[in-house]
A and B are shown apart, each in its own frame.
Chain A
Amino acid sequence: MNLNSLAWRNIWRRKRRTLITAFSIGFGVMLSVTFTGSGDYTYTNMIDMGASMGMGHVTVEPVGYHLKPTLDKRLTDTEKLHKQIIALPGVSAATVRITGQAMFASARKSIGGAFIAVDPAFETQENNLLLRSIVEGLLFSSRSGRGIVIGSRLAKKLHVRIGKKIVYTTTDADGEIVSDIARITGIFTTGIDMVDGIMALLPIGSVQKTLSYAPDEATVIAVVIKDQRHAEMMRDRVAALPEAKDVAVLTWKKAQPDLAGVIAFDKAGNYISQFLVGLLIAVGILNTMLMSVLERTREFGVMMAVGMSPKVLFRLVMVESFWLAIVGLILGIIITAPWYYFLYHFGIDFSGSFGNDFSYGGVLVDPVFKARLFKESIMAILGSLFILALLAGLYPAWRAGRVPPVESLKTI
């Protein structure tokens, strides 16, 4: 009879108590999976959506543009750099863009806003939120035409519709005020009021001419990557490219600090919730193990009397905690699996409460509560709960080996 087998039998002496404790661990797994899974899903969605709003997961831009985004700062020879970036593993898209402020004017009204000048040949619905949010009309087909796609709220404010002309006015590379005329080819509705109220897509060729940019000059190369968690790694890879010597390469956290702040704050709240859940579980395990140790004081005295050392006794109780943790985690996996399947495939629809255009941190949040766990998160949940269970067993184990055998034998 080795220590493992003895510990295994010991935890089943009081089946009900062991099962209740194991279920509390299992419940902890379920809660952690729900919290972490929803975090992994929501944050990834928010980051990907933020990336598709113009700047990508990784942004290549002129040095200092991030702090003062004026159009006199520009990237040159973007074609070479763009080709090098596209060739990097992990990059799903890279688009050359010009972003800037502009005044949009219709026959009836003028509104301040912002534009993203794009090459329609490189833009897809996956990497451009505005494009996939077009509700009327189409994206202009030529990079040098006079098309424009504007937000629905902006269209409403300007009292314009598809086919109507608007004038946009901005400052060029030399700081001079310049303007051009464009005809509305499409209208988008992202659901984010600010975006729908000020943003417009313009053809990059036309904007380059208006701003007196050379054909391969732009302000931004927005890099969309396959997994947002690798943004830092991709930033370093891009920064190491030979054509990226005199440019700034930023991750979405730098390019979109508001979004990064919101996510960091939300994550902190999530961690605190999980810590408190963990604490409750640990107290439950501690209680079980302590009860189990206290009611066996005499038995431990006998074990020590026949030669078991306090160290081995400590180990025995720790192995019991180990088995309790294993049983709890297995139960947790069993009860969490169907719940996770439901959250993964269906989720809980909160659109009735929040509507379909609930935005947070400047990006649209899916009103359906879903969960997607990263592999690392699964390991972290199981690992941390396992360690927690072992830590909760430390005090009872220490206590078991501490009572002198002669005292233990006196207990009934």
Chain B
Amino acid sequence: MSEERQETEHIVRMQDVVKTYRQGKVDVHAVNKVSLAIENGDFAALCGPSGSGKTSILNLIGGLDVPTSGSVWVDGIDLSTLDNTELSEVRKNRIGFVFQAYNLIPVLTAYENAEFVMNLQGLSDAECRERVMATLKSVGLEGLEHRRPDEMSGGQQQRVAIARAIVTNPAIVLADEPTANVDSHTAESLLDLMQQLNRDQGITFLFSTHDQHVIDRAKRIIQVHDGKIVTDESLN
């Protein structure tokens, strides 16, 4: 993998990033000249209305999409220099994803879903077991390891998704509307969990959200509108 390391403390850095989609005959600037840096230990929320570009920014940081112009560095690696396989490596080793719709693999149990990325990393069963069990315990799923997604509530499924995202100890967890599919009580408990993981384990979280519960908990709020960052406010 060609790793163009950057001399910085930033986990994520975006420099003049533009993402343009073609919709029919019209160019839509989903992300428009965005420059952003996410610090280690951040608990940041990308806020804004639907279609403002939050998810596009998250996808670009996660290496799921490539910018039309500009550069994205994750953990010091310039993603623009990587091919698909190398991007997969970055996602596998340095990024955790939490999706709105949980997106667990339905044929796998909670344990196996959490273990999935570690398997991709080629770790031994013994290594996986210890880490996965500890992670499941930390997200409050002790005793539910053998349940499949369809045997769990939405909140429990999202906890499994969080476990899957953090089990490999990634540089950053990207959470796209993580509380959008659960009730407010469950949303609070999920946020408690993520806040605790951020506080106790120093895991960096970047959310895309328009949920006030999330915004209220964030240490940093980045307002996005029409593909541009309009405000970036730390609340420490």
Q: In residues 158-184 of chain B, which contact A (Cβ within 8 Å)?
A: 164-165
Contacts between chains A and B (CB distance < 8 A), count: 70
CB-CB contacts of A369-412 with B at 8 A, as 1s and 0s? Answer: 00000000000000000000000000000000000111001000
Complex Cα distance, B116 from A13, in Å, reads 18
Interface of B is mostly: helix
**Minimum distance in angstroms from A409 CB to a CB of chain B:** 7
Given contacts A308-B120, A310-B85, A406-B65, contact A10 B91 (CB under 8 A): no
The answer to whether B119 touches A310 (Cβ under 8 A) is: no
The answer to whether B107 touches A306 (Cβ under 8 A) is: no
**Minimum distance in angstroms from B236 CB to a CB of chain A:** 31
Specify which of B84, B88, B108 lies most central, judged by the most chain A CB atoms within 10 Å of its CB. Answer: B88
Determine whether A121 belongs to the interface, using a CB cutoff of 8 Å to chain B.
no
For B117, the chain A residues whose CB sits under 8 A away are 306-307
Complex Cα distance, B112 from A120, in Å, reads 79
**Minimum distance in angstroms from B189 CB to a CB of chain A:** 23
For B164, the chain A residues whose CB sits under 8 A away are 306
Determine whether A305 belongs to the interface, using a CB cutoff of 8 Å to chain B.
yes
The answer to whether A305 touches B64 (Cβ under 8 A) is: yes
The answer to whether B107 touches A10 (Cβ under 8 A) is: yes
**Minimum distance in angstroms from A307 CB to a CB of chain B:** 2
Determine whether A302 belongs to the interface, using a CB cutoff of 8 Å to chain B.
yes
Complex Cα distance, B121 from A6, in Å, reads 16
Specify which of A1, A13, A406 lies most central, judged by the most chain B CB atoms within 10 Å of its CB. Answer: A1
Given contacts A307-B89, A311-B85, contact A299 B103 (CB under 8 A): yes
For B84, the chain A residues whose CB sits under 8 A away are 309-310
For A306, the chain B residues whose CB sits under 8 A away are 91-92, 96-97, 116-117, 120, 164-165
Determine whether A9 belongs to the interface, using a CB cutoff of 8 Å to chain B.
yes
Q: In residues 90-136 of chain B, which contact A (Cβ within 8 Å)?
A: 91-93, 96-97, 99, 103, 105-108, 112, 115-117, 119-121
For B97, the chain A residues whose CB sits under 8 A away are 302, 305-306
The range of chain A's interface size is: 20 to 34
For A353, the chain B residues whose CB sits under 8 A away are none
- Nearest opposing residue in chain B for A405, CB measure: B64
Given contacts A302-B99, A305-B91, contact A1 B64 (CB under 8 A): no
Complex Cα distance, B99 from A310, in Å, reads 20
Complex Cα distance, B121 from A309, in Å, reads 11
Q: In residues 40-90 of chain B, which contact A (Cβ within 8 Å)?
A: 59, 62, 64-65, 84-85, 88-89
**Minimum distance in angstroms from B18 CB to a CB of chain A:** 16
Which single member of A6, A10, A302 contacts B103 (CB below 8 Å)? A302
The answer to whether B88 touches A1 (Cβ under 8 A) is: no
- Nearest opposing residue in chain A for B99, CB measure: A302
Complex Cα distance, B87 from A310, in Å, reads 11
The answer to whether B107 touches A6 (Cβ under 8 A) is: yes
CB-CB contacts of A279-312 with B at 8 A, as 1s and 0s? Answer: 0000000000000000000110011111111111
- Nearest opposing residue in chain A for B115, CB measure: A1
For A304, the chain B residues whose CB sits under 8 A away are 64, 88, 91
- Nearest opposing residue in chain B for A10, CB measure: B107
The answer to whether A406 touches B64 (Cβ under 8 A) is: yes
**Minimum distance in angstroms from A316 CB to a CB of chain B:** 11
For A305, the chain B residues whose CB sits under 8 A away are 62, 64, 91, 97, 99
Which single member of B59, B88, B105 contacts A302 (CB below 8 Å)? B105
For A10, the chain B residues whose CB sits under 8 A away are 107
The answer to whether A9 touches B65 (Cβ under 8 A) is: no
Specify which of A13, A306, A409 lies most central, judged by the most chain B CB atoms within 10 Å of its CB. Answer: A306
**Minimum distance in angstroms from B218 CB to a CB of chain A:** 23
Can you report 19 A-B residue pairs in the complex whose CB atoms are below 8 A from each other? A1-B108, A1-B119, A9-B107, A302-B97, A302-B99, A302-B103, A302-B105, A303-B116, A304-B91, A305-B97, A306-B120, A306-B164, A307-B92, A307-B121, A308-B92, A309-B84, A406-B64, A409-B99, A409-B103
Known: A306-B96, A307-B93, A406-B65. 11 other contacts (CB 8 A): A6-B107, A299-B103, A303-B105, A304-B91, A305-B91, A306-B97, A307-B88, A307-B92, A308-B92, A310-B88, A312-B120
Interface positions of B (Cβ within 8 A of A): 59, 62, 64-65, 84-85, 88-89, 91-93, 96-97, 99, 103, 105-108, 112, 115-117, 119-121, 164-165
Q: Which 6 A-B pairs have the closest CB atoms?
A: A307-B92, A309-B88, A9-B107, A302-B103, A406-B65, A406-B64
